[in-house]
Structure 1
C-alpha cells in the first residue's frame, strides 16, 4: 500500500476552496490501480462563477478541456509537484479507462498569448526506460502513476507541464446535455456492443445533433482508422463545442451549466491542482486567440509483435533481447503459449450478444457437415434346404 496527500487552497474574496485527497492503491498482479479520491469542498462555485468578469470564459475552459480529455479517473499528483508551477498555461490532461487501469486519452495543452495549442498524444505512443522497459504511454499510468505519464509528455513535446487534470467519463455527457447537444457529422454507420465495458454504440451516418451519451459514443467509436480516427473525431467535437459557446443563446443555459459543474466538483469527478484564482488568466489566454488542435507527429509501426505509435523525436526501440515485460507478465498467467494462433470462431459458434453486429458478416461460415453415404444393401441369396430323408450324410 502507498498513499499521497493533496491539498490546495483558493482565496476568492471570503470564499475558500479546500481540496483534501487521500490516495491509496491496491496491487493486482504487477499493476497498480489508483483508488478514487475523497474530497472536501468548501466553496460556493455558483457565486464564484457569477461574480467573475470572465465567467463565460471560466465556464467554457473546463468544458473544452473535458472534451479534450473525454473520460478519466482521479487526481494523483503529489504535493511536491505543486511547487513546479511557473506559468498557468501548460497542462497535461489524462483520461483513464472505465476500470481505472490505463490512460486512454493523453492531451498536452499549452496556453500562450495569441494561440492555444492542444496536442493529442496517441495512447499507443512508444516509451522506453531502463527501469520499466518498453510500454505504451497509456500503460504507464498503471505502472508508475500519473506523474510518469506527465514526465513522458514533457519529453515528447519538449516543454514543461507542471499541471495535471484528470476527469471522469460521465462529466462530458452531463455538460453536453446541459448545452442542449452538439452538432457533428457522423461519417459512417457506427454500431458496436461491449457488455463488459457497458459500451453500446448505435449512430446513423450524416450531420446531426447528438446528446451527451451519443457524443461519448461518437468519440469512443473505433473503426478501421484506429486511434487516429478517434483523435480526428475529438477535434470535431472540440470545434462544435466552441461554435456553441459563440452562440448568444447558450448564455441562457448558464445556471444549468453551473449546477452541473458544481455537482461534478462535489462528487470528485473533476479534480485538478490548478487554483481557481488562476482560471481567469487561463481562460483569458484561451479565449484571446484561436486554438490549434494537432496530433503528435509520428508513424505507426510494430515492435515485438505489438502496434505502437513512434514519435518523430521520441525514443528509438531497443534491440529485442528476451521477452518484453508484457510477454513476461502473460507467461506468468499461463503454463505455455499456444504454438500457433487459434483460428477465428465460426459464425454461429458464439451467442449473438457476444459478437458485435459489425463482425457478424466477417466471421467464416461454419464447415458443412460431412456427407455420410447411405449403407449399401447387398442382395441375400436364398439358402436351399435338404429334403432328403434317407439318413445319409
Structure 2
C-alpha cells in the first residue's frame, strides 16, 4: 500500500481543522438560541468547582477572555484565601454558601477584578471532559491515598507521569491530603501548582485538532454539569473564541501569597503588592 507523504498528511489535518471550524461556527450562527449576546471584547467569568455538599467551592478560577489582545488569562484563587467578611468562616471557599454575588464580591475584594458572569461546575464535568478528550497526561507529584466514606470519595494515585481518565483526573483535582495527614509539602500552594498543570494539559488537548473535533461533546459535558448566567449562545460563542485564540495564548496564573496559621487556622494570605502588580500586567 502506498503511504501518504508528510505533506498530504499535513494537508488532511488542516482540512479537518478548517471543516471543524466552519461547522462549529455554522452551528453557532444558525442553531443557537435567540437570546442577544451580552459578551464584550473583554469578558470576565468566575468559574467555581462546587464541593459535593454544594456549600463550598473546591476551586475558584477568574477567567478573562480578551478579544482585544487575543488571549485568555486564568487566575487561580486558593480555596483557603483569607477574606474580610462578617462570617465566622474567613475563607473564600465558604462565600458560595451565601450566594454567588457574595462570591463575586469577595473575589473582587482580593483581586480588584469584577466578574461579568459566573459558572459553577460539578466534578462530573471534569470526568466527562477528560473522557471526551480520550484522557489527559499529567505528572502526579506525590502518592495520593485518601478515603472519605461520608462523601463516597476514594483517591488512589501513584506518583509519576501518567495518562488519567476522567475518574482519576477527578481524584487528582480533589486531592488535598492522605489518610495519614501527609500531602503536598507546601499545602495549597503545591495543590494549585498541580491543578495548574492539569488545566494546561486539558487546555492544550482541547485546543488541538482532536479537541476541535470533540467540540460538540465538550460543549455537552460542560452544559450538563454547569449552572451559569450565560445563555447557550454565549457559551458557544466563548468556546469558539477560545478555539480562535488558540492554546499558545492561554496563560494561567496563581494569586501571589503565602500559607499562614492564624489563630490555629490555616489560611492563604494574599500578597497585596505582588497581586496588584501581577494582575495589572496580565489582566485588563
Relative to the length of structure 1, the TM-score reads 0.53
Which residue, 192, 195, 204 being the options, matches 1:231? Answer: 192
CA RMSD of aligned residues (A): 2.8
C-alpha change, 1:231 and 1:54, in structure 2 (3 Å) is farther
Task: Name segments (4+ residues, structure 1) moved above 6 Å.
Answer: none
Determine which structure has more spread, i.e. the larger CA radius of gyration: 1
- What residue number does 2:230 align with? 274
Which residue, 244, 251, 256 being the options, matches 1:292? Answer: 251
CA distance in 1, matches of 2:50, 2:75: 17
Whether contact under 8 Å (1:91, 1:161) holds in the other structure is yes
How many angstroms does 1:90 deviate by?
0.3
Superposed CA deviations along residues 130-184 of structure 1, whole A, max 9, x for unmatched, are x436611111222x21210111111221121121100111111022112111111
- What residue number does 1:307 align with? 266
- What residue number does 1:258 align with? 216
Superposed CA deviations along residues 260-291 of structure 1, whole A, max 9, x for unmatched, are 743763x5x21211133334553455342611
Which of the pair has the greater relative contact order for Cα pairs under 8 Å at 6+ separation?
2
C-alpha change, 1:293 and 1:174, in structure 2 (3 Å) is same
Following superposition of structure 1 onto structure 2, how do residues 24-173 of structure 1 map, counting pairs within 5 Å? 51-53=23-25, 89-112=43-66, 113-129=69-85, 131-132=86-87, 135-142=90-97, 144-173=98-127
Which residue, 190, 205, 212 being the options, matches 1:244? Answer: 205
Q: Which runs of 5+ in 1 are unaligned?
A: 1-48, 57-83, 315-393
C-alpha change, 1:308 and 1:236, in structure 2 (3 Å) is same
Whether contact under 8 Å (1:126, 1:311) holds in the other structure is yes
Whether contact under 8 Å (1:126, 1:134) holds in the other structure is no
CA distance in 1, matches of 2:157, 2:221: 29
Which residue, 196, 218, 221 being the options, matches 2:175? Answer: 221
C-alpha change, 1:283 and 1:248, in structure 2 (3 Å) is closer
Query: Which one is further off, 167-176 or 276-285?
Result: 276-285
CA distance in 2, matches of 1:185, 1:55: 36
Q: Which runs of 5+ in 2 are unaligned?
A: 1-20, 29-37, 177-182, 274-284
- What is the SS of the residue equivalent to 2:272? coil
Whether contact under 8 Å (1:301, 1:307) holds in the other structure is yes
How many angstroms does 1:117 deviate by?
1.3
CA distance in 1, matches of 2:89, 2:221: 40
